[in-house]
Structure 1
Amino acid sequence: MRQDIRQAAPPRVAELWERDFAQRISLAYPGDTARGVFCLSLLDTVGELGDGVMMRRCLAVSGERGFVAFFNYPIATYLRMVATALPLLAVEHGSTEEALRQLGRRAAADFRKSTAGKAMGVMQAGGDPRRLLDSLPVVYRVALNFGEFELTWVAPAHARFTMRNTFMPVPFHEGVLLELVRKMNVQRSWVLGCQTEPLDSEYEIFWE
């Protein structure tokens, strides 16, 4: 039997992420909301790892009895759930950053299959990179009721996506964007993000 070498994040790294999420939660107002599909996506992700205890813990910290995909819930609720599940997900994916990235990919995929996502034809059709990327600000505004989003073109195969006043960390949004640009009719694509302010970030999206 092959030995499982996955390990929890070092205490220092885990502590830094705990502080990071605590700051993000403290900056969120009750009126900053996101679709319930993201909370359901997180619960499904944890459930698929076979950890019923962690699922119950995530639901307990949310303060909700359950979620409706199309309804809006405080982003602080989602942040608390992610922070609770992150140690488990970090072990599964090898690092906290990769866990957030994969969580973002799953969130984007589940949003695409939701009622709101299906209503946005561009998310289903994909194909044309410019059409898909030009729609990113609209996609984000449908999913969230906060934040400012701007897409600019650096070159024909290079776009820059800027986010202001959003709450999830950079690796999570990298995962969201990676999943969305996967629909582009190109050979390869990359997303590289950086944090510019506590709640602001920029993402370089390019392909060939």
Structure 2
Amino acid sequence: MPSDKSELAQRIALTRPDHTVRGFIFNSILILVSQRAGSEAVARLAELVKMKRPIDFFSYPAADFLQLLYAAVDVLEPYYDSVDDAFRACGAATVSGFFESHVGNTLAKLVGRGDPKRAFASTPTVYRTLVSYGSHDCEPMDGRRVKIVFRGDMQPMLFHEGSLRAALMAVGGGAQSAVEGTACALDHSEFLVRW
């Protein structure tokens, strides 16, 4: 079942010309497609969304990223159990791209591994380096939990759920870790992160 194109259109309608996404997030999706579906699939995607290979730390329109994301999910769906899992996989791919980048590598060294609460406290800073829109807040909770609230962010909740799960594992969340997302609106998602 392909991704919901009417939802894509609604999400694109939420974007403004000054809403941008860093190139390495685009490239992370393209790398995932290449790994799963091959280089011909990447070439078809690039042609479909009419884009050249982005430069990692340049900024590109969020609407273009949405088009790439939904097209990539359609290509990737046969390799996952569902469209939802393909969205999550795309989100997870962006985390590996982030931690391989200079900024992500530096941040990982600053916050260290093994302390997810401290790492997730950096959520607003991290997202300000990745995108030019929305608020991305971390609310500490008792014990080994935090609540992450995204407002004004038109990316799908499942995409963010995948990225937050991968980030949790990258900072040492462990086997009992979980991220539970709730879509409150097209541009408002909340996540309970526990480890």
Instruction: Name the residue aligned to 1:189.
Output: 177
Instruction: Name the residue aligned to 1:203.
Output: 191
Q: Does 1:168 align with 2:155?
A: yes
- Cα distance, 1:122 vs structure 2: 4.9
Instruction: Name the residue aligned to 1:97.
Output: 84
CA deviation string 1:115-162 (max 9, x = no partner): 221232457722112211211121111111111021112322121100
Q: Find 1:31's aligned residue among 9, 14, 18.
A: 18
Give the TM-score taking structure 1 as reference length: 0.86
Call closer, same or farther: CA 1:119–1:198 in 2, change over 3 Å.
same
Contact 1:112 1:124 in 2 (8 A): no
CA deviation string 1:70-122 (max 9, x = no partner): 11111111111111122221111010100011111111111110122123245
Contact 2:30 2:42 in 1 (8 A): yes
Show structure 1 runs of 5+ residues with no match.
Answer: 1-8
Could you tell which deviates more after superposition, 123-132 or 133-142? 123-132
Call closer, same or farther: CA 1:123–1:81 in 2, change over 3 Å.
farther
Q: Does 1:78 align with 2:65?
A: yes
Alpha-carbon RMSD: 1.8
Larger radius of gyration: 1
Give the TM-score taking structure 2 as reference length: 0.91
Instruction: Name the residue aligned to 1:66.
Output: 53
Q: How many residues align?
A: 194
Give the partner amino acid of 1:95. Answer: S
Contact 1:160 1:205 in 2 (8 A): yes
- Cα distance, 1:21 vs structure 2: 1.2
Call closer, same or farther: CA 1:155–1:124 in 2, change over 3 Å.
closer
Q: Find 2:114's aligned residue among 117, 124, 127.
A: 127
Call closer, same or farther: CA 1:185–1:191 in 2, change over 3 Å.
closer
Work out the CA distance in 2 between the residues paired with 1:116 and 1:194: 29
Give the partner amino acid of 2:136. Answer: F
